[in-house]
Amino acid sequence: MIEKKKMVKRKVRQRRVSSVDVAREAGVSQATVSRVFNRTKGTNVSEETVAKIMQTAKRLNYRPSVIARSLQQNSTNIIGIINRNFESNFHMQSLDMFSRELQKLGYSTLLLNLPEDGTMDATLHLALEYQVDGIILTSTMLSSRLAEDCISYDTPVVQYNRYSLYQEVDSVCLDNFKAGNEVGKYLIETGHKRIAFVSGRKESSTSIDRRLGLIHSLDEAGLPLVAEYTGEYTHESGCEAADAFIHGISRDQWPDAVFCGTDIAATGFIDHARRAYGIRVPEDISVAGFDDTPMATWPQYDLTTVMQPIETMVQETLEILMDLIKYEKSGVIKKMIPGTLVKRSSVIDRR
């Protein structure tokens, strides 16, 4: 049996045309070619030579090597985005927006994924080895040891969608506590007495803060959290939560409002509560979500939820990062972005 691969010619990657080639062909020095491809800042080259060089460059299909330039300039124009997962709409949209905005700013995006098993050492170091000009860390926090590494590499980092009061790292994050608190206050205002919570991932600090915000509002009103369920970012989790809150429980013990930490869980809750238990939403139970995904506007849900202003968050993150790249760091920035409560019909006024 013959291995197919063995029969094929091994490839030696050919040398690309370089500025030297263009220079030789055009009868000028290599430096002049370089000047032509960088004459943004008043580098003076005669019209004539410019024309000649551009022409032969085009003929030889020459394009400057960003890599060589990076080496010489000590700057790659690459931003590393270290990504934890793509599980939610929020993450996808954020990534999309980051890479588009970076492109507009003249940067490219090096996309790095955290391995499932967790440690980000290797991933972060990879980014540093690529000499990226900056790093955006989504939904993860930097250990102080790794933060040191970034500093010693003089590579700015901004955390997105995660923050810690005890860290020197700049961050941009939705104010999940406040948002959770506002949902709670709204549910209380509208006359709900028996409020329950469905959490996203247990370890997720965003979920934890939303929950704490809710509880704070309940405490102030002297109300209990009557039930809670911890799941994943899935429709099924919402279904399970409905079972947990309703199955085998007498009607007067049901919650009259359920705050779900994610829209997707809210849809699951609503669907299952209706189908399996004939519960009317919002007449029997009000439901609120989080994220304002497209599904929130589907007529059967018409979900009261919290909108995360992704565009603003991305812009703020990039602004901080660009400043860190250009100017000396002075102090730590922890930007908390407020969410917006979007009121729809899935929460009813019970007063």
Residues lying near a second copy in the complex (CB under 8 A): 5, 8-11, 13-16, 61, 63-68, 70-71, 74-76, 78, 81, 85-86, 92-93, 95-96, 99-100, 103, 108-113, 125-126, 128-131, 149, 152-154, 234-235, 268, 271-272, 275, 294-295, 298-300, 323, 325-328, 330
CA-angle at 67, arms to 62 and 73, nearest 5°: 115
- Shortest Cβ distance from residue 35 to DNA (Å)? 6
- Asked whether the beta carbons of 160 and 313 are under 8 A apart, the reply is yes
Identify what 298 binds: DNA, a second copy, none; CB under 5 to 8 Å per kind: a second copy
> Could you tell which of a second copy, DNA, none binds residue 235, using a CB distance below 5 to 8 A set by kind?
a second copy
Are 208 and 220 contacting, i.e. CB atoms less than 8 angstroms apart?
no
Inter-axis angle of helices 89-104 and 310-326, nearest 10? 40
Beta carbon of residue 176, minimum distance to DNA (angstroms, whole number): 41
**Contact pattern for DNA over residues 2 through 31, marking x by CB under 7 A:** -------------xx-xxx------xxxxx
Q: Work out how close the CB of 30 gets to DNA at its nearest, in angstroms, rounded to a whole number.
A: 6
Establish if 171 lies at the interface with DNA (CB under 7 A): no
Out of 24, 45, 54, 274, point to the residue binding DNA (CB under 7 A).
45
How is residue 314 written in tokens? 């991305």
Residue 351 contact among DNA, a second copy, none, beta carbon within 5 to 8 Å by kind:
none
d(CA 58, CA 44): 21
Pull the structure tokens for residue 42. 């008043």
Which one, 32 or 109, has the nearer CB to DNA?
32
**How would you classify residue 186: left for phi > 0, otherwise alpha for psi between -120 and 50, otherwise beta?**
alpha
Query: Residue 164: what are its φ and ψ, rounded to 5°?
Result: -150, 135
Give 340's strand partners.
Answer: 307
DSSP category for residue 201 = -
**Contact call for residue 153 and DNA (CB under 7 A):** no
Cβ 63 to a second copy shortest distance, Å: 5
Residue closer to a second copy by CB (options 5, 41) is 5
Window 63-102: contact mask with DNA (x via CB under 7 A): -xx--xx-xxxx----------------------------
Q: Does 32 bind DNA (CB under 7 A)?
A: yes
Cβ atoms < 10 Å from Cβ of 193: 14
Applying CB under 7 A, which of residues 4, 10, 46, 283 lies at the interface with DNA? 46
Q: Which does 294 bind (CB under 5 to 8 A by kind): DNA, a second copy, none?
A: a second copy
| Structure tokens that stand for 10 in this block | 């091994």
**Identity of the residue numbered 21:** D
Of the CA atoms within 13 Å of residue 251, those in its CB half-sphere come to: 5
Q: In the structure encoding, which two tokens stand for residue 12, read together?
A: 């030696």
Q: Which among DNA, a second copy, none contacts residue 143 (Cβ within 5 to 8 A by kind)?
A: none
Pair 226, 258: CB distance under 8 Å:
no
Distance in angstroms (rounded) separating the CA atoms of residues 316 and 80: 17
> Least distance from C-beta 108 to a second copy, angstroms?
6
CB of 113 to DNA, least distance (A): 24
- Whole-angstrom distance, CA of residue 43 vs CA of residue 245: 72
Angle at 193 between CA 192 and CA 197, to 5 degrees: 85
Binding site for DNA (CB under 7 A): 15-16, 18-20, 27-32, 34-35, 37-38, 43-46, 48-49, 62, 64-65, 68-69, 71-74
